Amino acid sequence: MLYLILINPFSKRFDNSKIKKIKRKLDDKNIESLILESHSKDYFQKKIPEILENNREKKIKVIIVGGDGTINNVCNVLAKLNSNNISIGIIPSGTANILAREFNIPDNINEQINIILNAQSREIYLSKINNFYFIFTCGIGIDGKIVKEVENNIKLKNRLGAIAYVWKGLKILKNPGMEKFKVKIDNIVDYEVESIIINRTQRYGLNKKIFKTAYIISDYFVCALIKKVNYSSLLKFFLGINSEDIIFRKAKILEIKTSKNLPIQVDGEFIDISPEIITISDKKLKFILP
């Protein structure tokens, strides 16, 4: 058994004392471990395949010390490899840590370590936009635009944390300038919208339960289709209210039809692709859960 500890030292709540506690606990149990500290977005993409190849006969527990974006980054690497002998544990250290909260992972580091050491893993199907995997959320339009603006101002994100998204959102809403695009749901229903937020977790943003019928192990998304982006429609979104401007509904397959590039976020990270098909993939990974 190899414990591969993957660290994002730039995550909002990173604390080096957590790493020392993890390493000490593993050493006390004579468990082999290896620590990788990311220096760039593509660092894990380069290093993880090499390590897995060199240890292909071993069972591997991957411990991710970071936020939702780091988890997404690692899962995109693992999804393209033979990951049958791999399980994933989370030490939440990011800005929002939505996935960890949805998994009911406690805040206490000692409890987190005990879960990784002793709890069972559960297979969860990944989501997919075109050929890019994500775990629990995808936003096209206002959501993607806010994330892009925050990522372009790291100092603001480091200073305000999750509030930076609210700050940028309020500024964008003064003059949103969103392009309309079409969404076909389950090959049946067409909508024309300015934004769509697609979730598999109940929580969104500042840990608010908006998508109340979403469930991470389900085979469907819950979508918020926003026909017009303004203060009123966003308020209704945060209150979970169906109206003329915003519709909540379940979906398994979404087809995005647009002639222009649209701002997109997945798991809280901006991605620069032209969206086409969004679905639950047939690729699954094992997560260690309480």
- pLDDT tens digit sequence for 28-86: 999 999 999 998 878 999 999 999 999 988 999 999 999 999 999 999 999 999 778 99
37: amino acid identity, one letter: E
Asked whether residue 287 is assigned to any structural domain, the reply reads: no
Rounded Cα gap, residues 73 and 50, in angstroms: 16
Q: What is the pTM of this model?
A: 0.93
- End-to-end C-alpha distance for the chain, whole angstroms: 20
Are residues 204 and 85 part of one domain?
A: no
Residue at a domain's end among 55, 85, 119: 119
Sign of the torsion angle spanned by Cα atoms 158, 173, 252, 249: positive
User: What integer pLDDT is reported at residue 158 of this predicted model?
Assistant: 79
Residue at a domain's end among 72, 95, 119: 119
Asked whether residue 289 is assigned to any structural domain, the reply reads: no
Are residues 189 and 81 part of one domain?
A: no
Asked whether residue 129 is assigned to any structural domain, the reply reads: no
> What average pLDDT does the segment 178-187 reach?
94
Confidence of residue 205 (pLDDT cuts 50, 70, 90): confident
Asked whether residue 286 is assigned to any structural domain, the reply reads: no
Are residues 184 and 46 part of one domain?
A: no
Are residues 248 and 147 part of one domain?
A: yes
Asked whether residue 125 is assigned to any structural domain, the reply reads: no
Are residues 265 and 163 part of one domain?
A: yes
Asked whether residue 260 is assigned to any structural domain, the reply reads: yes
E strands in the chain: 2-7, 32-37, 60-66, 86-92, 121-129, 132-134, 137-140, 181-185, 189-193, 195-199, 203-204, 208-209, 221-226, 246-251, 253-257, 264-266, 269-271, 277-288
Are residues 162 and 96 part of one domain?
A: no
Residue 95 belongs to domain with CATH number: 3.40.50.10330
pLDDT at residue 12 greater than cutoff 80: no
Are residues 180 and 86 part of one domain?
A: no
Are residues 141 and 70 part of one domain?
A: no
Are residues 110 and 50 part of one domain?
A: yes
Residue at a domain's end among 89, 119, 149: 119
Asked whether residue 92 is assigned to any structural domain, the reply reads: yes
Are residues 215 and 152 part of one domain?
A: yes
How many domains does the chain contain in total? 2
Q: What is the DSSP string of 210-237?
A: --TT--TTSS-EEEEEESS-SHHHHHHH
Asked whether residue 40 is assigned to any structural domain, the reply reads: yes
> What average pLDDT does the segment 268-281 reach?
91
Confidence of residue 251 (pLDDT cuts 50, 70, 90): very high
Residue 151 belongs to domain with CATH number: 2.60.200.40
Confidence of residue 163 (pLDDT cuts 50, 70, 90): confident
Are residues 256 and 161 part of one domain?
A: yes
Confidence of residue 155 (pLDDT cuts 50, 70, 90): confident
Residue 169: domain span: 134-280
Are residues 39 and 161 part of one domain?
A: no
User: What integer pLDDT is reported at residue 108 of this predicted model?
Assistant: 94
User: What integer pLDDT is reported at residue 58 of this predicted model?
Assistant: 92
pLDDT tens per residue, range 94-140: 888 999 999 999 999 999 999 999 999 999 999 999 999 999 999 99
